[in-house]
Structure 1
């Protein structure tokens, strides 16, 4: 049995709890940062009418490279879902946001998602908050885009989208964890 566990661990299939190290980056209280590495896309380019129309709020989509979502700012977990595909955060400066993994992934009923935080838990910018199985999402036929959306109604007209990069992929900026995405100016 020990040999089987060693093989599973080597292949990344261990049933043991994994430790996900935090990311470290400089932060400002009025800013949100990329929670995952990937290709930045405008919300209008996302294949979900509710998101692309801006009904939830303003922000970006990120086509992910990796499978760990990090807190984009320090604050408290404001909401979690039973299916673990999205997390709401209220930052220390009062910005409310939602991080949503995939399009239609609520239908996976939590399969392929592992939430690392609980509602009302305090998190620091760069702390791992969610892990997802990108291959399972794609195999089930869903889009794996991660959305980071400011949802605070009173702040939406103060949101400045600043995500950019000098490195482009198919005309879209590449971002890494901790790159600035949004500034909310009072």
Structure 2
């Protein structure tokens, strides 16, 4: 068995399907971590005519810079809700935080084409575990933006949410984050 075969056997299940490797990083229960790598944008910059930004909660948009299309759990918790179109998911995290991950703007109109889910409602997930995949090219070919929004959807449950995603690494003047970088810290009174 050559090196390539050894690597392939690590990421392929017994039925021949590719298994997505988990990302590993240190976590805290009051922190939301980046579910994808990319450039941070303010939610105010996210233009969604269908879903008002205020309904998303408090957080960031991330413009993906890599085309691997894997979304990782940003917190430890339980999958609280999924969509039939597989473009968004809610995780009920420890301590009462609800984290929403929403892929793309207007992508609900794609009817699930280009999206898949790795988890189901009620599943327990660990931060860094693959939870969804998306095909960036399909989103762009359909004429939609591929921004991945990661928010605390119940911000009123906390006295303060600190935005800590800014980094000193910039691309086009925007902070870059990688999977597992801290984005948000939720503080109770």
If the length of structure 1 is used for normalisation, what is the TM-score?
Answer: 0.88
SS of alignment partner, residue 106 of structure 1 = helix
Unmatched segments (≥5 aa) in structure 1: 1-8, 10-14
How far, CA to CA, are the matches of 1:167 and 1:103 in structure 2?
A: 26
Deviation at 1:55, TM superposition (A): 3.1
SS of alignment partner, residue 141 of structure 1 = coil
Is 1:155–1:184's contact at 8 Å kept on the other side of the alignment? no
Match of 1:152 among 151, 154, 174: 154
How far, CA to CA, are the matches of 1:157 and 1:58 in structure 2?
A: 12
How far, CA to CA, are the matches of 1:132 and 1:17 in structure 2?
A: 16
**Aligned equivalent of 1:98:** 100
Match of 1:128 among 117, 127, 130: 130
Unmatched segments (≥5 aa) in structure 2: 1-7, 9-14
Relative to structure 1, the CA distance from residue 156 to residue 53 in structure 2 (aligned partners, 3 Å threshold; closer, same or farther) is farther
How far, CA to CA, are the matches of 1:121 and 1:167 in structure 2?
A: 35
**Aligned equivalent of 1:54:** 54
SS of alignment partner, residue 60 of structure 1 = strand
RMSD, aligned α-carbons? 1.8
Is 1:90–1:97's contact at 8 Å kept on the other side of the alignment? yes
How far, CA to CA, are the matches of 1:51 and 1:172 in structure 2?
A: 24
**Aligned equivalent of 1:161:** 163
Residue 42 of structure 2 is aligned to residue 42 of structure 1: yes
Aligned residue runs from structure 1 range 1-186, under 5 A: 16-48=16-48, 53-64=53-64, 65=66, 66-155=68-157, 157-186=159-188
Runs of 4+ in 1 over 2 A off after TM superposition: 49-56, 153-157
Relative to structure 1, the CA distance from residue 168 to residue 153 in structure 2 (aligned partners, 3 Å threshold; closer, same or farther) is closer
Is 1:33–1:73's contact at 8 Å kept on the other side of the alignment? yes
Is 1:45–1:52's contact at 8 Å kept on the other side of the alignment? no
If the length of structure 2 is used for normalisation, what is the TM-score?
Answer: 0.86
> Which range is displaced more, 58-67 or 153-162?
153-162
How far, CA to CA, are the matches of 2:146 and 2:94 in structure 1?
A: 28
How far, CA to CA, are the matches of 2:101 and 2:132 in structure 1?
A: 10
